[in-house]
Amino acid sequence: MPGQCVIGLQWGDEAKGKLVDLLTEGKDLVVRYQGGANAGHTVVIGDDVYKLHHIPSGIINEGVLNLITPGVVINPPTILEEMDMLLPRGIDVTERLKLSQRAHVVMPWHVLEDKMWNQLVSGEDNIGTTLRGIGPCYADKVGRSFAIRLGDLIQPSFPDRVRKIVEVKRKVLSAVSGGASDLPDAESIIEQFSAYADRLRPMIADTNHILQNAVEQDKKILFEGAQGSLLDIDHGTFPFVTSSNASGTGISTGSGVPGNWIGNIIGVCKTYATRVGGGPFPTEQENETGQHIREMGNEFGTTTGRPRRCGWFDAVAVRYTARLSGVSSIALTMVDVLSQLKEIEVCVGYKLDGKDIDYFPGNIDELRRVEPVYKSFPGWQQDVTEARTLDDLPTAAVSYAHEIEKLVGRPIEFLSVGPDRAQTIHVPDGVTLEDYLSKRPA
Ligand code: GDP
Ligand code: IMO
Ligand code: MG
């Protein structure tokens, strides 16, 4: 099966962008199928650093067609900004990016609603979204009556549609704020979005048709997940999630490729855990350890710059998401970040109300009450950033990786020891970490 997918197994920022760039080699198409400009994917190739929120990370490789499919919510100004950022760096996106006419558009009222809903909910109930209008846009998609799809922008009915929606949205926003709303008038929104549409027009396409042909022609396709499985709207830590299916379950619905065709799913996770925004995080370390991980891993958001909350690897959560997403193998990233630690803790089980449980709770109050059960592993206390093969890694680092794959129940295929494309170890085909460790000289 020629389909391969990269998805996050934690709460996002697992280094999916790096993996996608690496795996794009030899592919014909790279597909972003859910989320929107809330993502921030980083690709590092020598001195070149690319931070992409919207355009697939496959764009950096020449000769690959990149698709944004119906499940994504499109933010036209962000796409245009990224095109303008890439052009002087030698990447002309126009010929190699197609945007689905079926994808919904984030409109100015969505961004205002996102801000307003966030302000209305305070304290531990605040989701802490990226304020990119993602939730309100998906809400209107499901609600249907006030939604705008990319293909609508270039239809003669577009101006009238905006006028009608603005009338309703202005009433709602004013009623909630108790004053005038900040929503620009309909005519200026029409003018602004018509200008975006003029620039995007050559890229607006029927990506379902393109993908169906690509599948029939056995083209090699890479699917680029955004966010992480624990942020999945249906299966994540609801309500502290994003508004799309960010686990492997979303690949088919978001792209339009049949589920039984998608074979190889690589789940990306860090050697520890991070989360941005609100919500329970059982293994969070609000102490020197968390601070140390944040500094060593430069754990600050790619999209919002917010400091990421940091904690120990949670094997209960990742085992749940690896099973949920049908992961075939794991890419374990940030091996270098733990290099200075003497002891590394891993959460191997949960206690809920004093009892051991063998599942990841689906209820947020229960998840808030779980107590992690930790197991301690020796650190490697050695720089690993130059390692390119398993032999270059300290035994303790390979053993730690092996413990993780045993706990999660899926084999590790990649180990990442730094941000650069080159700082990656591919576990050779046919080799397991268990075999490797058993043969490795002490
Ligand atoms: P994504 O959203 O999953 O694509 O991840 P982000 O790009 O938001 O965050 C990952 C960050 O870690 C980026 O700054 C990457 O350049 C960096 N990174 C990727 N892999 C590694 C690694 O193995 N070690 C370290 N130290 N940094 C990494
Ligand atoms: P990538 O693709 C990490 C989080 C937000 C917030 C919640 C809802 O870079 O891994 P939203 O704006 O989507 O309504 O916010 O989801 N979030 C992410 N956290 N990485 C991301 O993307 C994220 N995208 C959204 O911080 O808690
Ligand atoms: Mg990110």
> What integer pLDDT is reported at residue 305 of this predicted model?
83
Ligand nearest to the CA of 226: 2
> What integer pLDDT is reported at residue 2 of this predicted model?
67
DSSP lists the bridge partners of residue 373 as 349
Ligand 1 site residues, Cβ closer than 6 angstroms = 8, 12-18, 40-42, 44, 297, 302, 333-334, 336-337, 416-419
Ligand 2 nearest-atom number relative to CA 274: 3
- At residue 241, what are phi and psi to the nearest 5 degrees? -140, 180
| Closest C-alpha residue for ligand 2 atom 13 | 242
pLDDT in tens, 280-293: 999 999 999 999 99
How much distance in Å is there from the Cα of 333 to the middle of ligand 1?
A: 8
Distances (CA, A) of 160 to 141, 167, 172, 320: 18, 11, 19, 47
How much distance in Å is there from the Cα of 306 to the middle of ligand 2?
A: 11
The crossing angle, in degrees rounded to 10, of helices 158-177 and 186-200 is 130
CA 400 to chain centre: 25
Ligand 1 nearest-atom number relative to CA 417: 23
Contact 255, 282 (CB under 8 A): no
How much distance in Å is there from the Cα of 136 to the middle of ligand 1?
A: 28
Whole-model pTM above 0.85? yes
The Cα–Cα gap between 229 and 10 comes to 6
Element spanning 19, H or E: helix 16-24
Q: Domains of the chain: which residue ranges?
A: 3-75+209-439, 104-201
Ligand 2 nearest-atom number relative to CA 276: 26
> What integer pLDDT is reported at residue 192 of this predicted model?
98
Ligand 2 nearest-atom number relative to CA 114: 14
Residue 41 is among the residues annotated as catalytic for this protein: yes
Element spanning 68, H or E: strand 65-68
Percent of the chain with pLDDT over 70: 100
How much distance in Å is there from the Cα of 278 to the middle of ligand 1?
A: 21
> What integer pLDDT is reported at residue 15 of this predicted model?
98
Overall average pLDDT of the 49-63 stretch: 96
Closest Cα to residue 195, out of 255, 134, 153?
153
The Cα–Cα gap between 299 and 379 comes to 20
Overall average pLDDT of the 370-390 stretch: 98
127 lines ligand 2 (CB under 6 A): yes
Overall average pLDDT of the 410-416 stretch: 98
pLDDT above 90: residue 181 = no
113 lines ligand 2 (CB under 6 A): no
How much distance in Å is there from the Cα of 42 to the middle of ligand 3?
A: 7
Q: Under CATH, which number does the domain 104-201 receive?
A: 1.10.300.10
The Cα–Cα gap between 169 and 113 comes to 9
pLDDT in tens, 291-317: 999 999 999 987 778 899 999 999 999
39 lines ligand 2 (CB under 6 A): yes
Ligand nearest to the CA of 268: 1
Ligand 1 nearest-atom number relative to CA 14: 3
How much distance in Å is there from the Cα of 174 to the middle of ligand 1?
A: 41
Q: Does CATH place domain 3-75+209-439 in 3.40.50.9100?
A: no
Choose which residue among 242, 247, 268 to substitute to test ligand 2 binding: the one with the highest number of ligand atoms within 8 A of its C-beta: 242
pLDDT above 70: residue 202 = yes
| Closest C-alpha residue for ligand 2 atom 25 | 38
Residue 383 is among the residues annotated as catalytic for this protein: no
How much distance in Å is there from the Cα of 416 to the middle of ligand 1?
A: 9
Handedness of CA 123, 128, 133, 135 (dihedral sign): negative
Distances (CA, A) of 428 to 405, 408, 412, 433: 16, 20, 10, 10
pLDDT above 70: residue 162 = yes
- What is the residue-averaged pLDDT of the chain? 96
Question: What confidence tier does 1 reach under pLDDT thresholds 50, 70, 90?
Answer: low
37 lines ligand 2 (CB under 6 A): no
Ligand 1 nearest-atom number relative to CA 268: 3
Ligand nearest to the CA of 275: 2
378 lines ligand 2 (CB under 6 A): no
Question: What confidence tier does 53 reach under pLDDT thresholds 50, 70, 90?
Answer: very high
Question: What confidence tier does 179 reach under pLDDT thresholds 50, 70, 90?
Answer: confident
> What integer pLDDT is reported at residue 118 of this predicted model?
92
Closest Cα to residue 282, out of 323, 239, 314, 309?
314
Ligand nearest to the CA of 138: 2
pLDDT in tens, 350-367: 999 999 999 999 999 999
The one catalytic residue in 21, 28, 41, 125 is 41
> What integer pLDDT is reported at residue 296 of this predicted model?
96
